């Protein structure tokens, strides 16, 4: 039986609250030693993904105060996700098509984990992973 996103995902993912400051979210990223985390709303639903790059490019480099910017102001317009019971091949295809390195995993409306390139590297053939990496890093 083919592996699903649920089989390979990182579980127990913490969210940055959409009304939380970027300064607090950055501290959470550092404490967790991760480069990205989901942004969740007051309704506990996924609102986006926040990356350390978002913080640097959209806040620090533009001279904004991280204590004044809310996490919900970052994280992109479209949230690309994968269903928990979708196949790993579907996750690979989604990553490739949307040029993303991490996919929040949704079960119904609930965030249950994240599939990252590192998760996939431990679970799939390296040629398949190489194709995804090449597609993600290729110039637009």
Domain boundaries, the chain: 5-137
Q: Compute φ and ψ for 125, nearest 5 degrees.
A: -65, 135
Residue 8 near residue 119 (C-beta atoms within 8 A):
yes
Residue 100 near residue 64 (C-beta atoms within 8 A):
no
pLDDT at position 140 is: 56
pLDDT at position 135 is: 67
Measured CA to CA, the distance from residue 68 to residue 97 in angstroms comes to: 34
Q: What is the pLDDT of residues 57-83, one digit of tens each?
A: 999 999 999 999 999 999 767 889 999
Instruction: Give the 3-state secondary structure of residue 83.
Output: strand
**CATH 3.40.50.2020 is right for the domain spanning 5-137:** no
Q: Which range has the worst mean pLDDT, 14-18, 44-48, 103-107, 119-123?
A: 119-123
Q: What is the pLDDT of residues 79-136, one digit of tens each?
A: 899 999 999 989 989 998 998 889 999 998 889 999 998 888 887 777 666 766 676 6
> What single DSSP character describes residue 59?
I
pLDDT at position 44 is: 78
Q: The pTM is what?
A: 0.83
């Amino acid at each position: 039986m083919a592996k699903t996103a649920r089989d390979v995902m990182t579980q127990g993912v913490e969210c940055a609250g959409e009304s939380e400051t970027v300064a607090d979210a950055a501290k959470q990223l550092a404490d967790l030693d991760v480069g990205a985390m989901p942004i969740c709303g007051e309704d506990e639903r996924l609102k986006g993904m926040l990356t350390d790059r978002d913080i640097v490019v959209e806040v620090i480099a533009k001279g904004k105060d991280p204590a004044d910017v809310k996490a919900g102001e970052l994280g992109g317009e479209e949230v690309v996700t994968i269903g928990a019971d979708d196949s790993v091949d579907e996750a690979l295809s989604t990553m490739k098509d949307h040029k993303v390195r991490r996919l929040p995993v949704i079960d119904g409306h609930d965030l249950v984990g994240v599939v990252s390139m590192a998760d996939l590297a431990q679970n799939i053939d390296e040629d398949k992973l190489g194709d995804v990496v090449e597609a993600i890093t290729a110039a637009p």
